Chain A
Amino acid sequence: MMLWRASGLLLLGAGVLYAQSADPPQNNAGYVPVLSGGMGYVHNVNGGVTSLEPQIDPILLLPLGSHFLIESRVDFTGYYQRQNLTSGPYTGTVYQTLEFAQLDWLASTPVMATVGMYLLPFGMYNERLDPIWIRNLQDPPITAAIGNGSSGAGDGIMLRGVPYQNSSFSIQYSSYFSALSTISKIQASRTAGGDTSIFFGNHRLEIGTSYQRYLQGRQTNNVASYLSWQPPRTPLDVKFEYDRSYNGQGYWLENALWLRQSPFLQNIFQRFQFVTRMQQFDPFHGGGNGLPSVGTNRFDAGLNYYFKDDLRLISSYGRQFSSKGNENVWNAGITYRFLLPLWPGRNK
């Protein structure tokens, strides 16, 4: 254990020294290691069963100069329920999951390379919207299980970048290959795939599509198409995604509206965000792989209150409809994003 700690400190120190020797001259940005991430607590009631879910997801960012970055995120989520679901004392456990541990090489604009364990860039949710402090609604969409294999991560190599850009739009891509890994903590499926999107910056509109092929088992394909739009003059965030796999297909549409432009009580309402999401799912071949076995529809509405950009109260109500029975889902809690330097570097 001591050896691991010493190695970690040595790596940290080497990174800091290397980083500080490679300061770009045009700005005063520093490159010290960072501990960031999100934490929070969610009180969930699903079909009358209460779950208590504290969570912390620290991310370590360790730059090696201004072109290499080691980054890793670990998820610690506690999951506590009553012993008999609706009665008895609360019991549970804390689950630890290594979500990614990767080395990035920021080689050039068209090509950035990542090796290690990385989040699969399939659709919008897994890579971009999953952190607890980013989610507008705490429960992920039903189809978030599509394209994310057993762990949501791939073990291998990924290339990404911007092959073309002009003043109106940019075209972005990610492509990857993941090897099969059955090792605990770094499980991954043998897959290959990619994601590409076109982003109209002035209109804040992004349209993209993802493709993935499983190179094991049935060798099935997964596809996703998505749209993300933040109208420049309206405090609204619209996201839509359609996913299809061997096990089913579905879509979700989410709208997050800030009440900043309320004609009354603006001081109060400007901190509120009203969120709605509707989704529909149809199973194929009996569903499975994290997907329901029957057709399922769900509607959610939530209200979030932001104390600051990094601290908020969350609340939502959802109603799920399926032939197995309808149920209500309630969530309430608090989330916080932290961002800390890990080294006493100078503030220029």
Chain B
Amino acid sequence: MKFKRKKTVLLINLAVILQIFWGVNQGKSQDKSESDSLKQLVDSLFIISSAGFVKFADLEAPARKQLIEMKEQSVPYLIPKLSNRDARDINTLIELFKGIGDVATTQLVEALQTDDIWQIRTTCRCLGEIKDKRAGPDLIKVLNHSDYQIRNYATTALGNTKDTTAFNSIVEILKDSIEVPRKAAAYALGELNDKRGIPYLISALSDKHFSVRMVAMESLVKIGKGAIPSLIQLMDDWSDNDSTEKSNSYYLAIEALGKIKEPAVLPVLLDLLKSPDWRTKGVAVEALGNYNNPKITVSLAKLKKSETHPFVKDKIEKVLEKMGKS
């Protein structure tokens, strides 16, 4: 069966080579026929790449590989497919352009000049995978697009370029009325790894949508040590007001501090184990699990004996198990 499939792949390749050969021989004098055969080749490989059917599964990877290896040769024939609405086509295009890389940037940037929102969305997603700074100015131009998914994908792509000149444009997107681009802006600020983003991300920890809050926390972790004072300040603001139920931003700050893994913060986190609030204790245990420190093992083992809350108990067991393994 396997042999049969390999044979099929070989036959397809042979057919494709013959097709090119045939095209070249037939129309040596005509560039048109050459480009026609190339188009035919790209189209037929694309159909197999994006088919998604289980019976063609073995043919998909070789077809994709071939398209990627064709590099700039395949790009002109893939660009018109950017307006396709089929989810498998879109995902295949993103994967192909990711593989083809920055040789496609110029033509992708040109593809942004259209009224077709599907094309702009997919193009932004492809540029997001290529991560080429040269696309930055054109991505900034579409940040004001009325379609929020375009604002979302363009912001993510800008973040992936790690071009800090986009900082102000990205910060503006954090004010978007829709959470999807706001989430992308929080992500992009983390990718830029620019300390100027810290106050914005701290504020985003209180966003009304969880996606923005969670991504802001991860971005603060990416920025690292520089974010610690602001995170501790946020925690202090809540600790001063113990009577009210703490907001999720408080717990996210603990999580971020744990993930930054700065030894100087360890006493702060250990102190949280004394909290009467089960959530504070549980999140602190989880945060401490990021460190590799024997002191923590001792503290947690001690806590395990007295702890009754199932949330905290679960976290302690998980962390001790992890530390035991390491």
Tell me if chain B binds chain A. Answer: no
Contacts from A to B (Cβ < 8 Å): none
